[in-house]
Amino acid sequence: MRALMWSLYGIVFVVVGTTVVSVVSGRTPSVGTRVGDVLGSQNITVGTATVGVSLAAFAAVILGVLTMTSEYGTSRPILATFAAAPQRGRVLAAKITALASAVAISSTAALTVTDVLSAALVHAHGWQFRAADPAVLLPLALSALSLVVMSVVGFAFGAALRATAGALSAAVITCWGLGPIAAIAASALNTPGVANIDLFTPETAAQFFYGFTLDWSARTEAAAGGTFSLTLPAEAVVVGGWVALAAGISYLCVRLRDA
């Protein structure tokens, strides 16, 4: 339980901490230049507020994995849970709901703080932009949703493998390793299209999901060299597909395997 709480704290710490560093330094890491040199206060505000989300995704995956693998520890508390509630599908649904709610609440709270901080950074440089502007709130809400998605994906690996080390390794490779592996394979085989696999990994899809609101025209046109890009609806389908796949795997593993 302590590890679960620390993972939850980690999400908040990373999201808020990276924005604090950006505000103190007066820089926006997502853009790589000083505020006064960048056009578009919306991009600056959102970019600074969400700069730590991709890193916080690690903590979200860890939390999801631990939520399930902790049930199969030495004392195997899940046995008592199933004894009290034999309908495993409902138990699983309750666990996923609790996990998603905890991540959503903590990430929303953290992003609310970073929204205020990033707006202060913009105002300090003479830009006029409201922290509560819908153009800012939408990507922040989708950022929180992306962390929920990553936690559910981690939950599925925990349910499938049950061992923390194995589940974490598999989750990290799937979320962050497939892209680089595909890029290396594309280069070695001289087949650029292979690199497109990265667009369908959970972390990339979730990141692009909220990143679209910064530039609605981004990633809608085919790139050169045989690669292609996905539109916002397509990325939403990919994200939804990973959630559905994660829920389905979790259900099958809990329903069909012995505790």
User: 210 with 153: CB under 8 angstroms?
Assistant: no
Residue 28 has pLDDT above 70, yes or no: no
**pLDDT at residue 120, rounded to an integer:** 77
**pLDDT at residue 105, rounded to an integer:** 95
User: 114 with 15: CB under 8 angstroms?
Assistant: yes
220: tokens are 């809608």
Query: Which tens digits make up the pLDDT trace of 107-162?
Result: 999 999 998 888 777 777 666 666 667 777 888 898 999 999 999 999 999 999 98
**pLDDT at residue 189, rounded to an integer:** 86
**pLDDT at residue 126, rounded to an integer:** 65
Split at pLDDT 50, 70, 90, the class of 1 is low
More confident residue, 169 or 88: 169
Query: Which tens digits make up the pLDDT trace of 85-121?
Result: 888 888 899 999 999 999 999 999 999 999 888 877 7
Domain boundaries, the chain: 2-256
In this prediction the pTM is: 0.85
Query: Which tens digits make up the pLDDT trace of 176-234?
Result: 999 899 889 988 988 877 878 888 889 888 887 766 554 444 444 334 444 456 667 77
**pLDDT at residue 38, rounded to an integer:** 41
Query: Which tens digits make up the pLDDT trace of 34-65?
Result: 444 444 566 777 788 888 898 999 999 999 99
**pLDDT at residue 223, rounded to an integer:** 42
Split at pLDDT 50, 70, 90, the class of 23 is confident
**pLDDT at residue 212, rounded to an integer:** 53
CA atoms within 13 A on the CB side of 29: 17
